[in-house]
Chains A and B, each alone.
Chain A
């Protein structure tokens, strides 16, 4: 789950990570009031959307950038007006962009140097790591690709957190002045503690700023959370901003399904993430375009599978549906029963190709055959893919 920058900064501030003072504004007037209240000569007015690259991104139909500096309250109001209700396109939003519903007005600071740091779980090391680089404020992936030696990585134990000596190793390699090492220790250690305590999956500070007076401060903050751990963080789960999410994906998540909307015409309903990805690959291999990724998971019941069909059918671009089930935990009888149920309650207005294999397959096929539901049955993957591509093309 993603959250906004201002929400991440609230969480970081509470965890002892230095951030600048700031206020959220939902109208130009609020932005002006925020500027006055903050009382610094310069403020940054930042669009709050769940996507990065805002500084370089711009609003559709104007030259307004996603992040701009304001030197007066009127200035702040003008920038907020240029952003609020407008669609911001950045390198991460895709060409359709995202609507800006709120801005974050943040006080300025005197920047000495810009650095990069992030905390994430490194699969290869098998533990969380703190990553830092002298190349701040730029695309870190570019740095990783071209100058990997500029990327520093310190693994740490979740319970002990980053050791003090590790922060000194980082400070030395980052070339921080000795007078800032205590500030760096405080920053890095509180950041890694926050990562673990909040069950984050990514905590990225880009840029991390060394200020003129030797302090360390998180100028930007991007935070995503481990969905599997939200059950023990009700307060964080409450930060979810559904307006930022694809409605069908939100609906799927509520039903315990994993759904990603894509741009094709062939709806896919599959059990298991690997098989679901492979089914998309196969549809494409045979000349079709998948409309979605949908993994009903291992333990889905009839109600969840029915909801899955509803979600797929709510996409008006879907011209045919491919159901590919290889039963393990999931029993073919569950899918078959749900399919019959869905055809009664939802009604299929597009051709349905079904391929069943695995646990209780014969019983499942029997349920389908005797139900009277109009279904194109398929044997094996290739047969299923060919049939669904043909069915979609015929519509």
Chain B
């Protein structure tokens, strides 16, 4: 078991004929993901990495039976690509694209919510169930199969955490990159609910960052609905207020979204805190060990 993706997931890539799309399609194939095709309007009939390319997502689904898509479409057209995937009825839509205008996402959100599709991202590294299925841009070799569920708003910080877990001998059930944009398809709470229900996930590691209130809401959810040990790290503890730290969402404004407020909420929910980014793996190990006593 795992969440969202496994060895049976059939994946297409929207934007497969682009340089980045092709590179990562090959990376996913090398990892063992069941890539079944790709979509680029106007390039239907071509072949990339021995996979058929289609003009539309609907055609790709009809011919390949795909039930997941990874989107590498450029930012100006990415919202449209998400809508097309949702309209084609793909249950899992993973948008890797960085730099989509927020208003475009505000138009997409209600459509996604009214559909049966789940959106992960945008501006995220993707989803991986180690040893089974990798959809996205994360380096596969740092992961190892196991029982820690990992979720984060930041891509490379997730790799860091996973690498620490792997080196400590704690494998991962599934790792989910939620994305660094203000509007993303899935929240910490959505994924917490999936991890809590997954018998193969025994503990949960989350990486948040300054800005917004998603971490506080996650802490509140953990307090009432999560029985498994949880550890957390908040990035940007030393960031000055008023300065946007790369991610559109990562800004402390008007005394809101501070690391202190988030850490306090997490502690209050009984979550083990990683003091430094080098301590993420060990914080998870502490939370697991404490539960075993």
Contact = CB atoms under 8 A, between A and B. Distances in A.
Contacts of A280: 236, 238-239
Nearest to A359: B139
Nearest to A385: B278
Contact of A228 (B100, B244, B253): B100
B76 interface: yes
A228 B152 contact: no
Contacts of B76: 231-232
A298 B155 contact: yes
Interface stretch (A13-21, A65-73, A323-331, A335-343): A323-331
Interface in B21-55: 24
A199 B246 contact: no
A358 interface: yes
A157 interface: yes
A381 B107 contact: no
B276 A281 contact: yes
Contacts of A229: 101-104
A141 interface: yes
Interface in A264-291: 270-282, 284-285, 290
Contacts, number: 179
B195 interface: no
A276 B159 contact: no
B235 A277 contact: yes
Interface in A212-234: 226, 228-229, 231-232
A275 B139 CA distance: 15
A121 B249 CA distance: 11
B245 interface: yes
B245 to A, nearest CB: 5
Nearest to A157: B110
A327 B139 CA distance: 7
A357 B113 CA distance: 37
Contacts of A39: none
B75 interface: yes
B160 A381 contact: yes
Interface stretch (B8-16, B62-70, B83-91, B207-215): B207-215
Nearest to A284: B238
A141 B252 CA distance: 12
B277 A282 contact: yes
A144 B180 CA distance: 25
B246 A258 contact: yes
A299 to B, nearest CB: 6
B111 to A, nearest CB: 11
Nearest to A202: B253
Given A226-B103, A260-B244, A298-B137, A124 B213 contact: yes
A385 B110 CA distance: 44
A contact patch SS: mixed
A92 B249 CA distance: 20
Contact of A274 (B237, B240, B247, B256): B247
B110 A127 contact: yes
Given A126-B183, A226-B102, A358 B139 contact: yes
Given A126-B183, A357-B163, A275 B125 contact: no
Contacts of B246: 258, 272-273, 276-277, 293, 295
B138 interface: yes
Contact of B109 (A127, A196, A285, A298): A127
B224 interface: no
Q: Looking at B20, B154, B212, which has the most chain A CB atoms within 10 Å of its CB?
A: B154
A275 B214 contact: no
B153 interface: yes
A380 interface: yes
A123 B210 contact: no
Interface string A181-193: 0000000000000
A382 interface: yes
Interface string A286-309: 000010010101110000000000
A169 interface: no
B250 interface: yes
B255 A228 contact: no
Interface in A136-153: 140-141, 144-145
A274 B207 contact: yes
A374 interface: no
A159 to B, nearest CB: 7
Interface string B187-206: 00000000000000000000
B272 interface: no
Contact of A328 (B156, B217, B237, B275): B156
Contacts of A295: 246
Contacts of A258: 246
A201 interface: yes
5 contacts: A141-B253, A258-B246, A274-B207, A274-B250, A295-B246
Query: Closest 7 interchain pairs by CB?
Result: A274-B154, A273-B246, A272-B156, A141-B254, A274-B157, A229-B101, A278-B277
